[in-house]
Structure formats: C-alpha cells, structure tokens
Amino acid sequence: MSTGGREGLEVWVEQNVATMRQEREKLERRLHALTTEIKKLEAQKEQMVISREEQRDPELNPEYELMMERGIARVTNKRAELKQRQSEMTKRLNALEYEERQLMTVLRHERFGEWVELKKRRDETAAELERLETELRQLLGSMTSDLQAE
C-alpha cells in the first residue's frame, strides 16, 4: 500500500475514533443527567412518603392519602422509565467502548491497512446503498403519483 493511501486510511481511522469519542462523551453527559434526575425523583418520592406519613389523619382530608399514593406511583413509574433509558444508554456506551478498543487493537496489527480499507469500502458501499434506496423510493413515489394522475 502506498504512503498516500496509508495516510488517507489513517485520516479515516482518526475520524472514526473522533466520532466514537464524541458519541461516548455525549452518552456520558446524558447518563449523568439521567442519574441526576433519578436521584431527584428518589428524593421526591421519599419526601412524599414522609409527608403522607405525617398527614395520615383521615379526618383532616380523606382524599389527601389517595392523592399522595397517586403521586408516589407517578414518581415511581417515571423513575422506572428513566432507569430503563439509563440501562439502554449504558449498554450502548459499553458497546461503543468495546468498538473503540477493538479499533485500537486493530490499529496495532500489521495488517490493519487491509482491514481499514475493507471497512472503509464497506462504509462507502453502505452510503451508496442508502443513496440508491432513496432514489428508488423517490422513483417509485413518482411512478405511483403518475399512475394515480392518469
């Protein structure tokens, strides 16, 4: 492989690594925000439970306890939803870190140029495929509208 070709591959690799790192940083920021939100919901739920216990006298406001139960249930459900999103993001972050480690391992291998060239061709082919599928959908849409106009 020529030096110019190798430099082009190295630029391509650096761009992919930079993209992975940016995505990882974005995921880490979102995970941190979710974790903060989950902690706030946990504190809110705890405060609602304490408040419900303090105001337990049914003669003062019979609907208060029911209202608090509903509020606690809403907070619990929201927390569960955020935990699920957090779990999904953590899985994606782990997959991204694995991909980055794999790329770094390949970079150190003597045949990394061949691997990168194949991966680059695969990515270019995938982009070309996406472009062709878009053209096909547009053509089909055009043909359908022409037939409907007749």
pTM (two decimals): 0.58
Closest Cα partner for 72 from 40, 47, 54?
Answer: 47
Residue 17 host element (H or E): helix 3-54
Residue 30: is its pLDDT beyond 70? Answer: yes
Q: Can you tell me the distance from the alpha carbon of 87 to that of 83, in angstroms, rounded to the nearest whole number?
A: 6
Taking CA atoms, 19 is separated from 12, 14, 23, 59, 117, in Å, by 11, 8, 6, 61, 18
pLDDT band at 4 (very low <50, low <70, confident <90, very high): low
pLDDT in tens, 122-145: 999 999 999 999 999 999 999 888
Closest Cα partner for 107 from 126, 58, 99, 74?
Answer: 99
